[in-house]
Structure 1
Amino acid sequence: MNWTSMHIAAAATAMMMASAAHAADFDWKKHEGETINLMLNNLSWTQKIKDSVPEFTAKTGIKVRFEAFAEEQYRTRLSTLMQAKSPDVDVFLTLPNREAQLFQKNGWYADLKPLLDASTSPEFDFNDFSPALRNSGVFGDKVTGIPINVEGPLFYWRKDVFQKCGIQKPNTLEQLPDVAAKIKACDNSITPWAARGLRGTVGYSLGAFIYNMGGGFTDASGKASLCEPGTVKGIQLYGDMLREYGPPGATNHTFTQVMDLLGQGRVAMTNESSNEFPTLMSHQGRSEDIGVGVLPKGGETGISKPVVLNWSLAISGYSGRSEAAWYFIQWATGKEIQAVLADKGIAPSRASVFDSEKFAAWAKENSARTEWVAALKEIASTGTSLYQTPTLTRTPEAREILSNVVQQVVLGQADAKTAACAVTEQVQALQN
């Protein structure tokens, strides 16, 4: 080894020793005896992190009150407490692309930047999160959330049903109705298709239908619109699939009902959250017969543009226990816990965990895992987080309008063009 190499090695060793010393200096017990309140949406991540909370309490001495709700109930409850400026919420889950602008404007987020700078373990490494995920909660110099995952809708299909019926996986969106019709004719005990139909939730699984058919959420001038030809085609196809080949009561379904049906073996295809993969795999037989991929591209357009996003942990702007809450967030999003959750099927937001040999080995244990990881990598590199008409602070209203348009098609009350073009003034008013 030459002098330069020795010098570099010595410097690296010194840096590692310094880092270890700083890590040892960080006092995880600083807030021992305190109690923090968590309010969370009932994601697969939520269920898995709850199992590990006793480890956090053992590490820090901080007790945790843990509340988790179904998504609509969660949003209602969180909004009520935030509007009341309640100190009863310390840590909560937030979906940046849906609500970050509004929550930031309302003062519902605490600024994590001072905590990152002054109250963070040297092992945390904020730069380990991919730039797109890391920046999803950044407003100027203010950091509002730490990403817990990467996710998006994926195309799930029953390989055994396709094989039994002699059907090939669809290569384009336009082939979906024909495939569904063949499944229906082959085995009428299987519902060919399921997807979200509940108001306020549809855009997530609909978005790629619109993009792949050549549409979007603005017109040529940049104004909000659902009336563009490709957009209308995507909405019509989505609505037709639910009306002709979906389960009864589809307009009341969100991800929980859709994935339950798939897990129980009652549905052949869906486009639903990558987050629900662990839940799906917990059903007997699904790890052997489920195929996973990205939604088929548009046949005429050749476009494949999936939706991708992340959930983040945030601290309430009204919390009186922000540093103790920050201890929980840096633990829950740290490398060690993300590695544990990755082994349970939670897609990590940290590059070091996602690209690790351990995660790669886990993925190779069966074909469903391998396909799931490959699909996540694809949506992370090609996806978009916009799946409603653009608006700075009124995203929930934009999604309600979109859902209402889709429901009219599903229920046979209007065709997509009539329903979508009728709301142009409404969606443009939200953009202002």
Structure 2
Amino acid sequence: MSAVLALAMVPAHAQDGFDWRKHDGETVNLMLNNLAWTQQMRDRLDEFTTKTGIKLRVETYSEEQYRARLTTLLQGGSSDLDVFMTLPSREAPLFQANGWYADLTSLLKGDATDPAFEYEDFSQALRDSGVVGETVTSLPINVEGPLFYWRKDVFEKCGLEKPANLEELSATAAKLKECDSAITPWAARGLRGTVGYPLGGFVYNSGGDFKDADGKATLCLPGTIKGIDLYGSLLREYGPPGATNHTFTQVIDLLAQGRVAMSNESSNEFSTLMRYPGRSEDIAVGVLPPGADGTSKPIVINWSLAISGKSQKQEAAWYFLQWATGKEVQNTLAQNGIAPSRVSVFNGDDFKAWASESRPRGEWLEALLEISQTGTSLYQTPTLTRTPEAREILSSVVQQVILGQNDAEAAACAVTEQVQALQD
């Protein structure tokens, strides 16, 4: 931090000729989802103001509140919103079609970009996630995916090994329940609109998909039904009370408090989990167990920063995006458990040294490398601009299974025409 502050005091003309203080005195409004990245960044925002003279006004919300508030502002065409967090795999085509993103292409190629920024330092896949057609809509701030967390101490006490495949999850959960009734065997998301992310690996590893051989959207495939059934039955039989109201916040809280033995939850919450007493000693981290035939196709995504298409301060906002996704900031965040989107930082000595300092960190980094190499960002029916609606349908199917209102096959096959209609 001292180095960053010292650099900030160097006159702008001395910093490789790029004028970081061009927008001194302006104010940029940020809206952020309250993720681990956000929690780490909030303590560093003053560094940006010191460097640029640009003041920041920040609003932070939990994920469901964030989506509701963001949609309201974007639909209303508010010019008060300048920078916001976006999940490209969920909303990029929709937001671009509605004009809610500013086009970053000209900013990237113009004088407003620091020559040291190096856009190509982001991996190709992460750059592509923020491109719709010919438009660059956002910059990636992290790389993440659901990971399998389990309690090594509880498994050892019960004489159990990590499940070798998905088919062993239920049997393992049953043995954990019998061995130690004080701990919940399994926890995962059940809230509508949120289950697709951790469910995707269950579907793919079970041999399923979200489209058929002809490319039509469907949930009525044998492997897909199998994955949905396993996900729902685990929560129904071995999950915590009120699971259909849980998103990542509740799942991570349960893990952090030592009340859950297994989960498939975001790698992005690793740093939050490790801050709780005892978790760095007893939590183990890996990729979701494969299917019985060895199939492993995990989910891997990224959050990004975008500028509102209605912002009146797009160049000043662009300065914030450059700083927040720059090498120095990413290197600092990486050493606090935020997986960097820049290749140079991810492969850098500092990040590797940090990861080598403890067993869970090393396991986390190894798992991230695996999902980055083998994963997919598609974890719902491929509906482009209507992805949120597709996720609601998928969530409804899973909730029916969790609540015992319907079996997986009947619930999934009943919505085949509905999900395909979203794609037509």
Task: Please give the per-residue CA displacement for 1:184-204, whole angstroms capped at 9, x wherever unaligned.
Answer: 011100000000000000000
2:359 to 367, 373, 397: 367
Q: Where does residue 5 of structure 2 map in the other structure?
A: none
The one-letter code matched in structure 2 to 1:312 is S
Q: Where does residue 27 of structure 2 map in the other structure?
A: 35
In structure 2, the residue corresponding to 1:127 is in which secondary structure? helix
Q: Distance in 1 between matches of 2:145 and 2:197?
A: 8
1:23 touches 1:121 (CA, 8 Å); kept in 2? no
2:104 to 106, 112, 126: 112
Task: Please give the per-residue CA displacement for 1:356-400, whole angstroms capped at 9, x wherever unaligned.
Answer: 011111001000000000000000000000000110210000000
Does residue 184 of structure 1 match 2:177?
yes
Q: Where does residue 173 of structure 1 map in the other structure?
A: 166
Q: Distance in 2 between matches of 1:268 and 1:313?
A: 34
In structure 2, the residue corresponding to 1:40 is in which secondary structure? strand
Q: Where does residue 406 of structure 1 map in the other structure?
A: 398
Q: Where does residue 266 of structure 1 map in the other structure?
A: 259
Alignment of 1:19-98 (within 5 A): 23-98=15-90
Shift of 1:24: 2.0
The one-letter code matched in structure 2 to 1:358 is D
TM, length-normalised to structure 1: 0.94
1:23 touches 1:123 (CA, 8 Å); kept in 2? no
In structure 1, the residue corresponding to 2:101 is in which secondary structure? coil
Does residue 319 of structure 1 match 2:311?
yes
Does residue 235 of structure 1 match 2:193?
no
Alignment of 1:293-304 (within 5 A): 293-299=286-292, 301-304=293-296
2:91 touches 2:387 (CA, 8 Å); kept in 1? yes
2:135 to 142, 154, 157: 142
Q: Where does residue 125 of structure 2 map in the other structure?
A: 132
2:217 touches 2:419 (CA, 8 Å); kept in 1? yes
2:84 touches 2:307 (CA, 8 Å); kept in 1? yes
Shift of 1:139: 2.3
Task: Please give the per-residue CA displacement for 1:188-247, whole angstroms capped at 9, x wherever unaligned.
Answer: 000000000000000000000000000000112211110000000000000000000000
Does residue 345 of structure 1 match 2:337?
yes
Q: Distance in 1 between matches of 2:251 and 2:270?
A: 12
Q: Where does residue 242 of structure 2 map in the other structure?
A: 249
Change (3 A) 1:140 1:221: closer
The one-letter code matched in structure 1 to 2:240 is P
Does residue 194 of structure 1 match 2:187?
yes
Shift of 1:117: 1.1
1:251 touches 1:407 (CA, 8 Å); kept in 2? yes
Does residue 336 of structure 1 match 2:343?
no
1:23 touches 1:122 (CA, 8 Å); kept in 2? no
1:154 touches 1:292 (CA, 8 Å); kept in 2? yes
TM, length-normalised to structure 2: 0.96
In structure 1, the residue corresponding to 2:181 is in which secondary structure? coil
1:130 touches 1:350 (CA, 8 Å); kept in 2? yes
CA root-mean-square deviation: 1.1
Q: Distance in 2 between matches of 1:357 and 1:185?
A: 45
The one-letter code matched in structure 1 to 2:180 is D
2:36 touches 2:268 (CA, 8 Å); kept in 1? yes
The one-letter code matched in structure 1 to 2:143 is V
Q: Distance in 1 between matches of 2:422 and 2:397?
A: 16
Which stretch has the larger CA shift, 219-228 or 420-429? 219-228
Shift of 1:116: 0.8
Q: Distance in 1 between matches of 2:331 and 2:130?
A: 22
Q: Distance in 2 between matches of 1:431 and 1:140?
A: 18
Q: Distance in 1 between matches of 2:362 and 2:14?
A: 38
Q: Where does residue 157 of structure 2 map in the other structure?
A: 164
Shift of 1:21: 8.9
Task: Please give the per-residue CA displacement for 1:316-343, whole angstroms capped at 9, x wherever unaligned.
Answer: 0000000000000000000000000001
In structure 1, the residue corresponding to 2:288 is in which secondary structure? coil
1:122 to 112, 115, 119: 115
Structure number with larger C-alpha Rg: 1
Give the % identical residues: 71
